[in-house]
Structure 1
């Protein structure tokens, strides 16, 4: 009897849309449970925002990633795949560029020594950060607007110096409409990456994200699943309240179950036959785009992994000096320009962003010359960051849609957590199990 059940499982393919970490986790769990996933990806590679590219002989992600000691789902997946020994933990540093000065940041002593902020403001800021790392219940913050919440705790002085530009240069017009629960989860995650008040520890995987992505891919295929690249889905076909299949490259393929992990703004285009209220909910969601400049240098800019910036001549919230986490022969710096996708600046040519970054890095480190800049690339992602407003989850349609055989989610659904590989893996595996329960 069990053989017959297993045979039925393997004979019924389940379509999974999107081969980012969440889609890969869905397909992996389906294959692990004896089903046959068919994973459709429009790109020419797996990974989504974790996908890598060849940067002058260096295989590296298009967008920066790091891991915290609290990333349990990610670490468990590594162990399952026999990759736990490839994880490396590094003591990293943070900095703050303010009033033309590079200052240490990220621990109580650096806060007390910070130039440009009064003692009372420092104490209020530190108390808020400490209590945020200790908070467990986020529901009380769900309906609270983030900037007002932070101002109430840290005061106007600390907000103006340490927070305002982070909001303004990531969310622009959306800065005043974010959930405090979502901001709190970001504070807590970084705070919990510390193994003492004065030391921060972050992790990287040998070989980068590709090490994990390729292992998940191989496990899916080994268990009978299928991954199709450059296979954009044109439409999810529905009839009489149930899924019947997909239109892929102009051809119909029959499926009675579809699990979508593509960004929600694409869902309304691919599923126009959904109920009107569901379509309206998807269309009402806002997203932030990113133009991420990746620089290859012959020398380091600073000794920091994170560098927050507050400078009237820089339209960025900060930068990530990646090789201060993951050592490489040359120095890699990520400088993300976040903005709404409809903002005119998102249409600027790559060279405009590249020129700004050269100017910014040379200002931070005047010892840098043009000869130190080996290569510069720009990667763009239209739906990089969901805008999580107060009450965010109540605005989302249920994962199991009112169409038989159809489940839809993306990184918006593990609110209040921010988008991340570990969170995507955890949610994707749970979604696969729930879809087949």
Structure 2
């Protein structure tokens, strides 16, 4: 069978390596980090094992459930009734069901009807080909109205995408709405899932199965160059050593590809270079008090520079209150350069404003994580912009989370895409 080197041990790289070794290939998985999992990896948050970046499971995440059953951990899935809310004009308002929509004080009756109808039809749509040419703003304003966009969406889009706010594809937003909207036990109750023990349970189970079946995982081994001869991949230089390969599957951010694969044609390099991505400064707070009863709190307030809070402990019970505060932004923004402590002070000030019952004494611990390539910018007709997964170099496949479009980043899509890439590798060495 083929000798395959997989670059990156995030969920997609793990899934690719796992499928490849199951098919009988000789597999080496290289990862710059000291542990597997990528954005789904855990760290020790003063005694609490927690994801570096928040993850949740929806009812439509079939690839996740199938792989968990295959690994013998299907019984680790848990489901929780969750809720969403908006913080605006100094108050928290529940969101996400017909009663909450009708009770929301900052929309007119016509705005509520148009919004409810657009969201309902979105959850029932089979695909979004008909809106592929639209931006999210054009689509929302066309369905719910420009006043609804201004009241509910504009601030969130600006704080998530900055100068790209009016370039985000409608189909990308609609797919996110559909995924969450269909993860319900009824029209009136949202339900999301988590893995008992956290995402690490799945990541480590995949890694363990790879090793058990003969695959090799090399941690602390940064990919340096994909080696090419006569138009065909021959190996990978990583961590100061060379790995011979008949095929290479790269799952690292495509922004790194041009330096990693100097043998790529200029046309391919131009396409990878044209894909925009922004970073995230993700803060975690461990608190003695809950901020709100909601898992996801959208924030629409011109004096608060974050789009929302994710109170993760309202999904997965982890003991104390755990709150994620994501600051998405282009890394060229001056704010990206400010200190971790400056971010923590600002965000904790926002938390205390949202819930005045929280004081400085309620802060147990706080951490900051930074990721330079966190969110791809998917504009209308984004698939037309993506280079093919199979590159002009024989044996070399390249993809990252932007290839999930119109789906957003997620473990289920990582599993699906990673397995697909592994299955595309021909059997037998060339």
TM-score class normalised by the smaller sequence? over 0.9
Q: Unpaired segments of 5 or more residues in structure 1? A: 1-8
Measure the CA separation in 1 of the matches of 2:178 and 2:400.
Answer: 22
Residue of structure 2 equivalent to 1:315: 305
* SS of residue in 2 equivalent to 1:65: coil
Residue of structure 1 equivalent to 2:291: 301
Measure the CA separation in 1 of the matches of 2:17 and 2:107.
Answer: 50
Is 1:152 the equivalent of 2:142? yes
Q: Unpaired segments of 5 or more residues in structure 2? A: none
TM-score (norm 2): 0.98
Contact 2:220 2:239 in 1 (8 A): no
* SS of residue in 2 equivalent to 1:432: helix
Measure the CA separation in 1 of the matches of 2:301 and 2:68.
Answer: 40
Is 1:327 the equivalent of 2:325? no
- 1:338 pairs, out of 328, 333, 337, with 328
Residue of structure 1 equivalent to 2:57: 67
Contact 2:282 2:326 in 1 (8 A): yes
Measure the CA separation in 1 of the matches of 2:189 and 2:242.
Answer: 55
Is 1:355 the equivalent of 2:345? yes
- 1:402 pairs, out of 392, 402, 410, with 392
* SS of residue in 2 equivalent to 1:290: strand
- 1:371 pairs, out of 349, 357, 361, with 361
Deviation sequence 1:11-70 (CA, Å, 0-9, x none)? x43100000000000000011111121000011111111111000011101100000111
Contact 1:204 1:326 in 2 (8 A): yes
The within-5 A match list for 1:408-427 is 408-427=398-417
Residue of structure 1 equivalent to 2:262: 272
Contact 1:400 1:435 in 2 (8 A): no
Measure the CA separation in 2 of the matches of 1:85 and 1:252.
Answer: 40
Deviation sequence 1:371-422 (CA, Å, 0-9, x none)? 1000110111111111001111111111111111111111111210000001
Contact 1:287 1:341 in 2 (8 A): no
Residue of structure 1 equivalent to 2:213: 223
Runs of 4+ displaced beyond 6 Å: none
Is 1:42 the equivalent of 2:38? no
Measure the CA separation in 2 of the matches of 1:406 and 1:156.
Answer: 45
Deviation sequence 1:143-196 (CA, Å, 0-9, x none)? 212111111111121111111011100000001111111111011011011121
Measure the CA separation in 2 of the matches of 1:318 and 1:285.
Answer: 26
Residue of structure 2 equivalent to 1:54: 44
Is 1:428 the equivalent of 2:418? yes
TM-score (norm 1): 0.96
- Aligned positions, number: 427
